[in-house]
A and B are shown apart, each in its own frame.
Chain A
Amino acid sequence: MKHAVANVDRIKRQLLRDLVEQNVDLIAGRPPRPRRRRGALRLSLRLATLALLSVALFGSSRWLSTLAEPRPVSAAAAFARNPAPPVSPARLPGKVPASETAFAGMVPPKPVDAAVFPLAVRRVVIDAGHGGTSVGTRTPQGVLEKDLTLDIAIRLRRLLEKQLQVVMTRESDRDVSLEQRGTLANQAGADIFVSIHLNWIQNRRSRGVETYYLGPTDDPYLTRLAASENLESGYSLADMRHLLDRIYAGVRQDKSRKLAEVVQGALFQSLGKLSPEVADRGVKAAPFIVLLSTEMPAILAEVSSMSNEDEARLLTKPLYRQYIAEALAKGIRTYAGVVEGAPEMTLAGEKGNPIQ
């Protein structure tokens, strides 16, 4: 008995020493001290084996992209089967150029039957368009696109984060190049990427929503739009060649189109109910770099037209931005096959119809 008590006291003393050291390191801003653990070696071996197996079996990290449409699996079920820790951008490793990855330049494999891998959407990257010195477009009243996209993105995160892991490309008003956005999404291992933008349409009477996925276009309007959105890409010409190789590899295009369709459907259905003048401008393909640089199904949603006076006025209302976020969330959940368990609650103080 005495021995057991002494043993507990000894363990407590050791634990307290370690705990204090851990907290002293924390105060000093030092990283945690490495421990010599058998397990660490085991983990490294496991990871190395897994990497070798992936290369041997599939020859490329792009093998996932070649799968046909996955069988829908609810995120809840997916979590139950394979719980993964939440990811915060703060934990993401540093940027690695795509050309330096172990799998760059390998030959794409033959398509594999998706039924073999019941894939689920677990992690969503929400990209608030523009930010920092890139202000995007602005309403006649001076409201900036970068501020609106961030607000809608934060609302969308709140709506999704109970069911899906959400990674934001930015959470404040700061510059993030298109390249950084793509890299962040790729390194986060995101399952889908949703970029939020607000449109400026020459015909200012026109108001509507449209959603893009990656693909070539002959439409001069879309070429101009893509060129303007691609301005702050951060890519060099050499990077571009590597990126362009990916376009026609058949990658993700079907899944991106599908995602674009459901999100566009949800946006139009929801916002069209509020104001019948909102037009369904459809799902379109265009070569946006932010979509090009990602390795997962990716879309760019133009959720409103800032050029239209009525839309510009509505966009200043928090509740309208909440409706937009809810419509986006609905589309994403539909794509992800998530059961709509969480109540779609508006924020405190945001009640009623913004149109009225």
Chain B
Amino acid sequence: MSEKKDVLHVGIDLGTSRSSISASNGQRHVVESYVGWPLDMVARKVLKKPVLIGREALDNRSMLDLHRPLEQGLIKDGSEKDEAAVRELLWHLLSLVGADRESRDGMKVRAVVGVPAEALRVNKQQVRKALQDAVDSLMIVSEPFAVAYGLEALLHTMIIDIGAGTTDFCVMNGRLPTEEDQRTLTQAGDFIDDQLMRLTRERFPEARFSIHMVRTWKEEGSFVGTTKTPVVVTAPVNGKPTQLDITREMQQACESILPSLSESMLDLLSRVQPEYQEKVRNNVVLSGGTGLIRGLGPRLEQELQTVGGGKVKVVKDPVFAGSDGGLSISTDAPDSDWERLSG
């Protein structure tokens, strides 16, 4: 018999590409951040649902008005559809951990939602508006902060959270990060996908493939530097499935983000108080799905050599690092604080 709880804490990482949820009842889930509404009556009849989310939406995209609500790390200004998409995504995530309105049975849901740093800076109110009705109490934090909190990397640490739409840099100094402690680049996973798409098209003009296929190729074979395993993918050429060796293209695409990545890392480091720079250099943490690119950590360590060397660690579980961090914040915050955040 399970113990009945009055409060369910959830941490949610609302990402550009994937969103994850970690709940205090032990459940964790991840979904692709796509929301789609059937384009017309025919599509509605075929799909038998008013709205599709995640992989299901992606698989049926030709019949859907498909939205990726936090593309480039922002809720699109003035787009009600994107706000609605954020809401749908959140409700879906809550339903996965048994926290949707029907299953709650009087239980209160307290959520900490991590959003791309740029969304927090630019359209905080929109984010809150989109999320507030789904839970009883809500706290919004930036993704890199949630990651840092979950790892207890709160002092003299630099988090580099490389997602799909944005790369967020955040230096933790034992206080809430300010504008000065953070940077955001729009060069991230999507940028690599675009480069890989272009380079592969140039090399194999007769091959047919979509951006979604390219994204899957990247997730399976991304690397910087060298690799012993060639990256071979399959795509139709004149209708016939054909193997394509895209090792060189993959390397070039993945390395295309390196200059801005290392420049921002070194620039932010140079702004840390001099006495703490060495500590921060030795505590660089890579998170986010794109942070899993093979060889990226060592490559950034090479860049750190130019300023005296340092260490780059990759988060063990990047998919859930943000949502686990959010859950930690949620459970650590006292009831009195949560009461101030309700409604």
Distance between B148 CB and nearest chain A CB, rounded to angstroms: 9
Which chain B residues border A43 with CB–CB below 8 Å?
Answer: 180
With contacts A14-B175, A343-B211, A348-B66 taken as known, whether A162 is within 8 angstroms of B194 at the C-beta atoms is: yes
> Apart from A76-B256, A89-B77, A348-B65, what 7 extra A-B contacts exist at CB < 8 Å?
A11-B154, A20-B139, A43-B180, A86-B73, A86-B184, A88-B74, A348-B61
Interface-forming stretch among A21-29, A60-68, A124-132, A274-282? A21-29
Q: Is A342 an interface residue (CB 8 A)?
A: yes
CB distance from A109 to the nearest CB of B (A): 31
A349 contacts B by Cβ under 8 Å: yes
Q: Would you list 26 pairs from A and B whose C-beta atoms are within 8 A, ordered by A residue? A: A8-B152, A8-B154, A14-B174, A15-B176, A16-B332, A16-B337, A19-B141, A19-B176, A19-B333, A20-B333, A23-B139, A23-B341, A29-B125, A35-B178, A37-B180, A39-B180, A43-B180, A80-B187, A85-B118, A86-B122, A86-B186, A88-B122, A341-B198, A343-B197, A348-B39, A349-B65
Q: How far is the CA of A39 from the CA of B329 in the complex (A)?
A: 28
**Residue B205 lies at the interface, judged by CB distance under 8 Å to chain A:** no
- Bound state CA distance, A330 and B62, in angstroms? 25
Could you say which of B23-31, B257-265, B282-290 contacts chain A?
B257-265
B78 within 8 A of A: yes
Q: Mark A247-268, 1 if CB is under 8 A from B, else 0.
A: 0000000000000000000000
Query: Which residues on the A side are within 8 Å of B217 (C-beta)?
Result: none
Asked if residues B187 and A79 are in contact (CB atoms below 8 Å), the reply is yes
Measured between alpha carbons, how far is A355 from B138 in the docked complex, in Å? 51
> Residues on B close to A: CB < 8 A?
39-40, 61-66, 72-74, 77-79, 118, 122-125, 128, 138-141, 149, 152, 154-155, 174-176, 178, 180, 183-187, 190-191, 194-195, 197-198, 211, 256, 259-260, 263-264, 271, 329, 332-334, 337, 340-341, 343
Would you call A80 and B329 a contact (CB within 8 A)? no
Contacts of A339 in B (CB 8 A): 198
Contact A23 B140 (CB under 8 A): yes
Give CA–CA (A89, B122) in the complex, Å. 10
Residues 72-87 of chain A: 1 if any B CB is under 8 Å from the residue's CB, otherwise 0? 0000100111010110
Count A/B pairs, Cβ under 8 Å.
127
Residue of B nearest to A25 (CB): B124
A191 to B286, CA, bound (A): 34
Q: How far is the CB of A270 from chain B (nearest CB, A)?
A: 19
Closest 9 CB pairs of A and B: A341-B198, A80-B259, A20-B337, A341-B194, A18-B176, A171-B78, A80-B260, A39-B180, A11-B174
Query: How far is B63's CA from A151's CA once the two chains are assembled, in angstroms?
Result: 21
* A273 contacts partner chain B, Cβ-Cβ < 8 Å: no
Q: Report Cα–Cα, A17/B138, bound state, in Å.
A: 15
Residue of A whose beta carbon sits closest to that of B191: A162
Pair B340/A171 contact, Cβ less than 8 Å: no
Cβ–Cβ contact B176 & A79, under 8 A: no
A83 and B78 contacting across the interface, CB-CB below 8 Å: no
Instruction: Give the distance to chain A from B41, nearest Cβ to Cβ, in Å.
Output: 13
Q: Which A residues lie within 8 Å of B332 (CB)?
A: 12, 16
Query: Number of contacting residues on A, CB 8 A?
Result: 45
Known interface pairs A86-B118, A342-B194; A15-B128 also in contact (CB < 8 Å): no
Are the CB atoms of A26 and B140 closer together than 8 Å?
yes
A88 touches B123 (CB 8 A): yes
Q: Interface on A for B, CB 8 Å cutoff?
A: 7-8, 11-12, 14-20, 22-24, 26-27, 29, 35, 37, 39-40, 43, 76, 79-81, 83, 85-86, 88-91, 161-162, 171-172, 339-343, 345, 348-349
B267's nearest neighbour on chain A, judged by CB, is: A83
In the bound complex, how far is the Cα of B73 from the Cα of A39, in angstroms?
A: 26
CB pair A172 B39 closer than 8 Å: no
CB contact between B184 and one of A8, A37, A85 (< 8 Å): that residue: A85
User: Given A39-B180, A348-B61, is A16 in contact with B329 using a C-beta cutoff of 8 Å?
Assistant: yes
Whether the pair A20, B191 counts as a contact (CB closer than 8 A) is no
Bound-state CA distance A80–B255 (Å) is 12
Q: A85-B118, A85-B184, A348-B65 are contacts. A20–B125 as well, Cβ < 8 Å? A: no
Whether the Cβ atoms of A83 and B122 lie closer than 8 Å is no
Contact, CB under 8 Å: A79 / B260: yes
Smallest CB separation, B299 vs chain A (Å): 15
- A161 / chain B contacts, CB cutoff of 8 Å: 72
Residues in A whose Cβ lies below 8 Å from that of B154: 8, 11-12, 15
Quick one: which of B122, B155, B191, B337 contacts A90, CB cutoff 8 A? Answer: B122
CA distance A340 to B202 in the complex (A): 11
